[in-house]
Amino acid sequence: MAQRSETIDETGIEQLDAVVIGAGFSGLYMNYSLRDRLGLDVRVYEAGDDVGGTWYWNRYPGARCDSESYIYCFTFDKDLMQEWEWSGKYPEQPEILRYLNHVADRFDLRRNIRFGTRVTAAHYDEGADRWLVETDTGERVSTRYLVTAIGCLSVGNVPNIPGLETFAGEWYHTGAWPHDGVDFTGKRVGVVGTGSSGVQSIPVIAKQAGHLWVFQRTAQYTIPARHHTVDKAFLDEIKKDYDAIMEKARWSYGGMPISPIERSALEVSDEERLEIYEKAWAEGGFAFFRGSFYDIATDRRANDTASEFIRSKIREVVKDPEVAEKLVPVDHPFASKRPLIDTEYFETYNRDNVTLVDIRHWPITEITPEGIRTEDGFYPLDIIVFATGFDAMTGPFNRIDVRGRGGQKLRDKWAHGPSAYLGIASAGFPNLFMITGPGSPSVLSNMPVSIEQHVDWITDLIAHMDAHGVRRAEPDPDAEEDWVAHVDAVAGKTMYLLADSWYLGANIPGKPRRFMPYAGGVGNYRKRCDEVAAAGYEGFVLT
Ligand SMILES: Cc1cc2nc3c(=O)[nH]c(=O)nc-3n(C[C@H](O)[C@H](O)[C@H](O)COP(=O)(O)OP(=O)(O)OC[C@H]3O[C@@H](n4cnc5c(N)ncnc54)[C@H](O)[C@@H]3O)c2cc1C
């Protein structure tokens, strides 16, 4: 049990052991782990008015998880794993939010969370080895440990289009959706963006809208989800062997219990390859990517076979050949961007009330009070939906004034791209730990698995520090540099550098290009983290 801090210092500032920023999956579990396992005095700050993070904010129509329900959850409590009943294969947003509320209630996690409170600044006081944390409600607290659970996809990206402020209708970003919903009935709706949120919301909005215009910059590869392929009997069966299944996920590539595939797409006959793709397509979901051939992700020729198969499916589904060609991705290989899964996405373009607008060749020039103007036309609209994604991974950090030793700003240190040892900590910022930070598997994985691994690892490090009287832990700059070079090198062996994606920061004008997540796999990463801990936190300077 750690030494507890005094509550208030002589200047009247509250003294805490730990501050956690964010109350999504990461913040909830970090709170539990530091508070209930280590007995620390913890405060959680959350900008939203309740728990849930991603699932609190993203309430757009069709919002759901692409990870299968039984792996998209916590595993730290066996009773919780057994008692929660998922309704099907991929839970929708309300169901995940219910789950996170249940977790918060079950472990009494709300009592030390300050909701509706955004952390604006965190400055390290070298003399005291403490962080001074400030919020937008004027709170100031001092803490020994600062943990960011601020999410990789929590800062929405609304494109800077001239005239948006003049638009007379309603507009929304999918990542900050109104809690009481939006009524599209009979309305002229424009959806801008065809990434994951666009692909999920477009089919649902199309069913309600009078007419829907989809403004597409990048055509996408997306795999049918096939929700119906999982039922209650299957989920009950999982629970009989749940521990082993999740252990497999922990040591897998993507945090999913999928066995590594030995087969190469280039070593089978054309007929056999087609049969395997057809089977995976019929099964749906990420299994197409991870369960058909091992080299889709690493070999361009193997990848071409998968990309071409999906293109053929698009041409098969979309009836108008001209529209189909616009929907066929040709400028990047499959899985060089975040793989998408969908429900009747391509089928939606067969509807009479849906029009695809190509803004790759004829970009949007302005928004007027009446609608959207592109280089080749004008589209009168009542509602605009920006499904334009997020300022991923570094965005939430850049919105906090984080200053470490010598007053160095994290923003400045990361001006040319983020740099963090194991994606957990950054040199010059002692006792600041990041859950799913840049340089960790994070967004390339089924995230609850990665989140639990980070929380457990950070908890062990803090327990180690307390047990050994360590006041400061921060990465050795050389270890950090080596790790960042390793992250770059691993990304270089994949398809990921072949597309302009948010993984690289390419969706945000002016954002430095660096492949931010770690593509070496969840299992390999876990092994490295375990080795670092076993070697007395090798690569960290413990003072
Ligand atoms: C639409 C969508 C679909 C997704 N689907 C999947 C999926 O299928 N599988 C998967 O593994 N992952 C998916 N993800 C990723 C998802 O973000 C993670 O799975 C997981 O929810 C992350 O949890 P988190 O707690 O780390 O971050 P978040 O859930 O993003 O929570 C971070 C919280 O921190 C708060 N915060 C940030 N900055 C501050 C601040 N300065 N002060 C106070 N509070 C702050 C935010 O308000 C937010 O509530 C999806 C994400 C999105 C957006």
Question: Which residue's C-alpha comes closest to atom 18 of ligand 1?
Answer: 447
Q: Which residues, other chains included, contact 291 with Cβ-Cβ below 8 Å and sequence gap of 6+?
A: 258, 261, 280, 283
Q: How far is the CA of 151 from the centre of ligand 1 (A)?
A: 4
> Under a CB-based contact definition with an 8 Å cutoff, are residues 236 and 51 in contact?
no
Q: Which residues, other chains included, contact 527 with Cβ-Cβ below 8 Å and sequence gap of 6+?
A: none
Q: Which amino acid is at 76?
A: F
Q: How far is the CA of 153 from the centre of ligand 1 (A)?
A: 5
> Under a CB-based contact definition with an 8 Å cutoff, are residues 372 and 364 in contact?
yes
Question: Which residue among 119, 150, 253 is best mutated to probe the pocket of ligand 1, counting the most ligand atoms within 8 A of its Cβ?
Answer: 150
* Residue 120 DSSP code: E
* Cα(188)–Cα(80) distance, integer angstroms: 44
Q: Strands (DSSP E) along 106-176, which ranges?
A: 113-114, 119-125, 130-135, 140-148, 170-173
pLDDT tens per residue, range 208-267: 999 999 999 999 999 999 988 888 999 999 999 999 999 999 999 999 998 888 899 999
Q: How far is the CA of 107 from the centre of ligand 1 (A)?
A: 20
Question: Which residue's C-alpha comes closest to atom 29 of ligand 1?
Answer: 53
* Cα(416)–Cα(428) distance, integer angstroms: 16
Q: What does the pLDDT read at residue 1?
A: 40
Atom of ligand 1 nearest to the CA of 396: 38
Q: How far is the CA of 208 from the centre of ligand 1 (A)?
A: 28
Q: How far is the CA of 256 from the centre of ligand 1 (A)?
A: 19
Q: How far is CA 202 from the centre of its chain?
A: 20
* Beta-ladder partners of 123: 132, 403
How many CA atoms within 13 Å lie on the side-chain side of 473? 29
- Alpha helix positions (H), 170-299: 196-208, 232-240, 242-250, 270-283, 287-290
Question: Which residue's C-alpha comes closest to atom 48 of ligand 1?
Answer: 53
Atom of ligand 1 nearest to the CA of 58: 1
Look at strands 211-216 and 140-148 and give their pairing. unpaired
* Cα(173)–Cα(185) distance, integer angstroms: 19
Q: Which residues, other chains included, contact 495 with Cβ-Cβ below 8 Å and sequence gap of 6+?
A: 297, 298, 300, 303, 333, 334, 335, 336
Question: Which residue's C-alpha comes closest to atom 4 of ligand 1?
Answer: 65
Question: Which residue's C-alpha comes closest to atom 22 of ligand 1?
Answer: 151
Q: Strands (DSSP E) along 331-445, which ranges?
A: 340-342, 354-358, 364-367, 371-374, 377-380, 383-386, 401-403, 432-434
Q: Which residues, other chains included, contact 227 with Cβ-Cβ below 8 Å and sequence gap of 6+?
A: 88, 89, 90, 343
CA distances from 67 to 163, 255, 259, 314, 414 (A): 38, 10, 16, 23, 31
Burial string for 350-378 (b: 16+ CB within 10 Å, else e) reads eeeebebbbbeeeebbebbebbbbbeeee
Q: How far is the CA of 418 from the centre of ligand 1 (A)?
A: 19
Q: How far is the CA of 436 from the centre of ligand 1 (A)?
A: 10
* Cα(303)–Cα(297) distance, integer angstroms: 7
Atom of ligand 1 nearest to the CA of 27: 25
SS3 assignment, position 208: helix
Q: Which helix (H) or strand (E) holds 137?
A: none
Q: How far is the CA of 541 from the centre of ligand 1 (A)?
A: 30
Question: Which residue's C-alpha comes closest to atom 37 of ligand 1?
Answer: 150
Q: How far is the CA of 397 from the centre of ligand 1 (A)?
A: 13
List of the chain residues with pLDDT < 70: 1-6
Give, in degrees to the nearest 5, the angle at Cα 85 between 259 and 59: 90
Question: Which residue among 21, 100, 154 is best mutated to probe the pocket of ligand 1, counting the most ligand atoms within 8 A of its Cβ?
Answer: 154
Q: How far is the CA of 155 from the centre of ligand 1 (A)?
A: 9
Question: Which residue's C-alpha comes closest to atom 31 of ligand 1?
Answer: 53
Question: Which residue's C-alpha comes closest to atom 52 of ligand 1?
Answer: 54
Q: What does the pLDDT read at residue 290?
A: 78
Q: Which residues, other chains included, contact 364 with Cβ-Cβ below 8 Å and sequence gap of 6+?
A: 161, 192, 215, 372, 373, 374
* Cα(355)–Cα(335) distance, integer angstroms: 26
Q: What does the pLDDT read at residue 3?
A: 44
Length of the chain in residues, anyone?
A: 543
* Residue 107 DSSP code: T
Question: Which residue's C-alpha comes closest to atom 19 of ligand 1?
Answer: 447
**Whose CA is closest to 297, among 498, 438, 483?**
498
Who lines ligand 1 at CB under 6 A? 21-27, 45-48, 53-54, 56, 58, 63, 65-67, 72, 118-119, 149-154, 196-197, 396, 400, 435-436, 446-447, 451
* Cα(514)–Cα(502) distance, integer angstroms: 10
Q: What does the pLDDT read at residue 24?
A: 98
Question: Which residue's C-alpha comes closest to atom 35 of ligand 1?
Answer: 22
Q: Which residues, other chains included, contact 96 with Cβ-Cβ below 8 Å and sequence gap of 6+?
A: 52, 55, 65, 72
Q: How far is the CA of 53 from the centre of ligand 1 (A)?
A: 5
